[in-house]
Amino acid sequence: MCATCGCDDHSHEQGGGVVIDLEERLLARNDHLAGHIRDWLASIGVRSYNLMSSPGSGKTTLLERTVRELGLPCSVIEGDQETTFDADRIQATGVAAVQVNTGAGCHLDAVMVRKALASLDPAPGSVVFVENVGNLVCPALFDLGETGRVVILSVTEGEDKPLKYPHLVRTGDVVLLNKVDLLPYLDFSQDRFLRALRQVNPHAPLLPVSARTGEGLADWYAWLSR
Ligand SMILES: Nc1nc2c(ncn2[C@@H]2O[C@H](COP(=O)(O)OP(=O)(O)OP(=O)(O)O)[C@@H](O)[C@H]2O)c(=O)[nH]1
Ligand SMILES: [Mg+2]
């Protein structure tokens, strides 16, 4: 659809100025609300973490263990286009979870998180995990009022992903390399991955983990508790 007037004829579009302006206004509104969410969470002593990865990297598996093992009261906001599968998995651990279905949308935004938080009503001093829609592109743009951003990549995805998806990987406050239990069966080079990561994000701690076996998770819990 033409971004200038909404018609289906692209022949009269003049450059990309209007598109950028709309995107900036959309993001400014999101950022404004995210700021309020951040202030409110801080006022009740709640920390929140925005987990971002491609589909199937292990976000929910990591959260199933984390909410059991972290030793702090937790709740979870689950973002997916469809289904309540992930919220069901978290609730099965005994922890409160709210599922947000984005339909055709490819990311969570601050409006969705605000509504989910109103329903979750997190306890003061607790930790809220937000599992974003599996996507290494769009979630990068949307501030959710989080305390920290967690980028999860897994060894089955290849070493080049930081270089191919730099915008999202750059925003990570910590990077988890998941599924390291599969390394013996793959030709994944941790050295090559680290070099790729450091070109894009020089400072975020890199934590190799296995959400399946528990390897490395003590470092993840220490990072969360720091
Ligand atoms: N071997 C191995 N498998 C894992 C690990 N973590 C997750 N998996 C498997 O990877 C698959 C996807 O895991 P999920 O936790 O559902 O991944 P997700 O990132 O939440 O997926 P979406 O919500 O669809 O984006 C499942 O079959 C998990 O059992 C791991 O550390 N090692
Ligand atoms: Mg999931």
- Digit-coded pLDDT (tens) for 113-156: 999 999 999 999 999 999 999 999 999 999 999 999 999 999 99
Would 152 be classed as within a structural domain? yes
Q: What is the pLDDT of residue 159?
A: 98
Handedness of CA 201, 46, 34, 106 (dihedral sign): positive
Q: What is the pLDDT of residue 26?
A: 81
pLDDT tens across the length of the chain (226 residues): 334 334 444 444 445 566 667 677 789 999 999 999 999 999 999 999 999 999 999 999 999 999 999 999 999 999 999 999 999 999 999 999 999 999 999 999 999 999 999 999 999 999 999 999 999 999 999 999 999 999 999 999 999 999 999 999 999 999 999 999 999 999 999 999 999 999 999 999 999 999 999 999 999 999 999 9
CATH number of residue 166's parent domain: 3.40.50.300
| Nearest atom within ligand 1 for CA of residue 182 | 1
Query: What pTM was estimated for this model as a whole?
Result: 0.91
Determine, yes or no, domain membership for 8.
no
Residue 191 domain-assigned? yes
Ligand 1 pocket member 212 (CB < 6 A): yes
Q: Report the candidate in 66, 34, 33 with the shortest Cα–Cα distance to residue 76.
A: 66
What separation in Å is there between the alpha carbon of 156 and the centre of ligand 1?
11
The reply to whether 150 falls in a domain is yes
**Range of 157's domain?**
16-224
**Ligand 1 atom at shortest distance from the alpha carbon of 53:** 19
Distance in Å from the first CA to the final CA of the chain: 47
In a domain, 93, yes or no: yes
Amino acid found at 208: P
Count, residues in the chain: 226
Residue that has been written with the tokens 């491609």 in this structure? 54
Residue 194 · residue 162 · CB < 8 Å:
no
Report yes or no on 2 lying in a domain. Answer: no
- Whether 220 maps to a domain, the answer reads yes
